[in-house]
Amino acid sequence: MKAAGRQKLDQRAFLEQVHECWDNGYLLSSKKIGSGAFSKVYLAYATQERMRHNSKLASDLRGKRHTMVAIKIVSTAEAPAEFSRKFLPREISSLNATYKHLNVVQLYETFANSRRTYLVLELAARGDLLEHINATSAHRRCPGLEEEEARRLLWQLVSAVAHCHNSGIVHRDLKCENILLDDRGCLKLSDFGFANRSGLKNSLLSTFCGSVAYTAPEILMSKKYNGEQADLWSLGVILYAMVTGKLPFKECQPHRMLYLMRRGPTFRPGLSPECQDLIRGLLQLRPRARLALQQVATHHWMLPAAHALFCTTLCAIPEKPEKPQLQTSLDNVEPSADSDPPRSLLQLWRPQLQGTSHESASSLTPEPPGACPRQVADSARLQLWRTETAGRRVGRSRHPLLLCSIWSVPGHYLVS
Ligand SMILES: Nc1ncnc2c1ncn2[C@@H]1O[C@H](COP(=O)(O)OP(=O)(O)OP(=O)(O)O)[C@@H](O)[C@H]1O
């Protein structure tokens, strides 16, 4: 009887939500795609009428060629007052601040009434990274992802986190469950419920956030911490989880956890030494000793990601009347004084405007129909040009993740 009563209430609440969404231009489906402490996330469809009035939504969905969105319904009437007053506004303002990055879930708009707040989000239909790791491990009959796939995903994650940090936002809850994948396998960082403004570069935070297994030791020790450096620790845990299918440190007791952290991670046989080195570089007890994001992106283990992106795209570039002088081999060529020196690697993560970069990419590198595989066209476009000093700056990336010059230096491509 009690259960039946509860079900009736749920049905009534759901119908109210359908009406409230409809009044705001969305058709709410009954497909629940997730739930959080005070929220439920449903698949929904944007109406043509809504798209006419919301250019942010219209331009993004036009690119995706569908009208699906995810609507997160937060029950503010049931949530603690502090959640509605503090955390929810922070989540919304963080999503607004990080808007327009290919690897950060997009917030198209919000609407609210006295009982609920609705967040209309970009849909990431393929579930979260944890599910993906588990499914892949089962399929391969070997725990973890292939290093190549982990590298591709980490590259996108680093780009997303750098975009957040450059926008003054620290995520503070980076974990596999908060990393979603869309229908093209593109990574989308989500759940900014614990995010905060990083404020001054060196200002310290004190709130305990995130999940213990991903939490930096300085937070477990209740010290004041730098949010960006704490995010770097979590990145190390995520990379470890991707390549081993396990968490590096798993203990319920914080003191036991700290003991394991001090000992450092152990690795399965067969994991490449470069990957181990990158994980160790991130899982440094001393926050300042951790690799910075630009060091992660240029780490030996990561370079094939930039390299692969670069080389696969070359196949996709149609012949031009004047062929660019492209250096494909990694010869010993060093930058000379007459070419621009590589600028800060941080440029790699200049806010990469999702729509704009796609648009400019397509207009700069027109493709004849059927000239290149779709995923290549979608995932990477490079605009090459002839340099006066041939063999130095070998290309200019138009990829939304890699808006940078690509330099050939002995043994590596260096992105700047
Ligand atoms: N944009 C999205 N696309 C697809 N699924 C999503 C999206 N946003 C959230 N979800 C799903 O809904 C779940 C809950 O969303 P979210 O983590 O944002 O809520 P939360 O209330 O912050 O959760 P928690 O209490 O776990 O922190 C996610 O784990 C995910 O499975």
Q: How confident is the model at residue 309 (pLDDT cuts 50, 70, 90)?
A: low
> Which of 32, 45, 180 to probe ligand 1 with, by most ligand atoms within 8 A of CB?
180
Using the mean position of ligand 1's atoms as its centre, give its distance from the Cα of residue 177 in Å: 8
Q: How confident is the model at residue 318 (pLDDT cuts 50, 70, 90)?
A: very low
pLDDT at 397: 43
Residue 397 falls inside a structural domain: no
Ligand 1: nearest atom to the Cα of 105: 1
pLDDT at 3: 82
Q: How confident is the model at residue 222 (pLDDT cuts 50, 70, 90)?
A: confident
Determine what percent of the chain falls in helix, strand and coil, rounding each to the nearest 5: 45, 15, 40
Give yes or no for residue 381 having a pLDDT over 60.
no
CATH number at residue 159: 1.10.510.10
pLDDT at 84: 93
The backbone torsions φ and ψ at residue 34, rounded to the nearest 5 degrees and listed phi first, read: 175, 165
Whole-number Å distance between alpha carbons of 241 and 239: 5
Looking at the fold, whether 98 and 141 belong to one and the same domain comes out as no
Tens-digit pLDDT profile for residues 123-141:
999 999 999 999 999 999 9
pLDDT at 375: 29
The answer to whether 173 is a known catalytic residue is: yes
The answer to whether 125 and 183 are in contact (CB under 8 A) is yes
pLDDT at 9: 86
Looking at the fold, whether 156 and 69 belong to one and the same domain comes out as no
Residue 394 falls inside a structural domain: no
CA distances from 348 to 100, 333, 367, 404 (A): 16, 22, 25, 6
pLDDT at 212: 86
Mean pLDDT of 2-23: 91
Tens-digit pLDDT profile for residues 328-371:
222 222 233 333 323 333 333 333 334 333 332 222 222 333 33
Q: What is the mean pLDDT of the chain?
A: 77
Mean pLDDT of 286-303: 95
Looking at the fold, whether 190 and 116 belong to one and the same domain comes out as no
Residue 400 falls inside a structural domain: no
Domain boundary among 249, 284, 308: 308
Sign of CA dihedral 182, 129, 195, 82: positive
Tens-digit pLDDT profile for residues 16-44:
999 999 999 999 999 999 998 899 999 99
Looking at the fold, whether 93 and 139 belong to one and the same domain comes out as no
Residue 260 falls inside a structural domain: yes
Residue 321 falls inside a structural domain: no
pLDDT at 232: 97
Looking at the fold, whether 164 and 248 belong to one and the same domain comes out as yes
The string of DSSP codes covering 71-124 is EEEEETTTS-HHIIIIIHHHHHHHHHHT-S-TTB--EEEEEE-SSEEEEEEE--
Ligand 1: nearest atom to the Cα of 177: 29
> Which of 38, 40, 41 to probe ligand 1 with, by most ligand atoms within 8 A of CB?
41
Find all residues with CB under 8 Å of 117, minimum gap 6, and list them. 73, 74, 76, 84, 88, 110, 111
Looking at the fold, whether 95 and 209 belong to one and the same domain comes out as no
Looking at the fold, whether 92 and 146 belong to one and the same domain comes out as no
Looking at the fold, whether 153 and 293 belong to one and the same domain comes out as yes
Ligand 1: nearest atom to the Cα of 173: 27
Ligand 1: nearest atom to the Cα of 128: 31
Domain boundary among 247, 282, 308: 308
Query: By mean pLDDT, which of 53-62, 210-219, 259-268, 292-301 is the weakest?
Result: 210-219
Using the mean position of ligand 1's atoms as its centre, give its distance from the Cα of residue 34 in Å: 6
Looking at the fold, whether 138 and 287 belong to one and the same domain comes out as yes
Residue 406 falls inside a structural domain: no
Whose Cα sits closest to atom 29 in ligand 1?
A: 34
pLDDT at 207: 62
CB of residue 91 inside a 6 A radius of ligand 1 = no
Nearest to 26 by CA among 70, 61, 66: 70
Query: By mean pLDDT, which of 43-57, 146-160, 309-323 is the weakest?
Result: 309-323
ipTM above 0.85, yes or no: yes
Measured between alpha carbons, how far apart are the two ends of the chain, in Å? 66
Tens-digit pLDDT profile for residues 55-109:
999 999 999 999 999 999 999 999 999 899 989 999 999 999 998 899 999 999 9
Tens-digit pLDDT profile for residues 248-268:
999 888 888 999 999 999 999
Looking at the fold, whether 53 and 132 belong to one and the same domain comes out as no
Mean pLDDT of 165-170: 94
Structural domain boundaries enclosing 79: 13-121
pLDDT at 105: 97
Q: How confident is the model at residue 206 (pLDDT cuts 50, 70, 90)?
A: low
Find all residues with CB under 8 Å of 338, minimum gap 6, and list them. 388, 389
Domain boundary among 243, 274, 308: 308
Residue 319 falls inside a structural domain: no
pLDDT at 385: 26
Tens-digit pLDDT profile for residues 139-157:
999 999 999 999 999 999 9
- For 194-302, where are the alpha helices, taking DSSP H only? 217-220, 227-244, 254-263, 273-282, 293-297
CB of residue 117 inside a 6 A radius of ligand 1 = no
Ligand 1: nearest atom to the Cα of 38: 21
CB of residue 173 inside a 6 A radius of ligand 1 = no
CB of residue 121 inside a 6 A radius of ligand 1 = yes
pLDDT at 116: 97
Whole-number Å distance between alpha carbons of 299 and 236: 13
How many domains are there within the chain? Answer: 2
Using the mean position of ligand 1's atoms as its centre, give its distance from the Cα of residue 71 in Å: 10
Using the mean position of ligand 1's atoms as its centre, give its distance from the Cα of residue 416 in Å: 35
CB of residue 190 inside a 6 A radius of ligand 1 = yes
Using the mean position of ligand 1's atoms as its centre, give its distance from the Cα of residue 119 in Å: 11
Q: Which candidate in 10, 23, 60, 173 is catalytic? A: 173
Looking at the fold, whether 190 and 148 belong to one and the same domain comes out as yes
pLDDT at 215: 92
Looking at the fold, whether 268 and 142 belong to one and the same domain comes out as yes
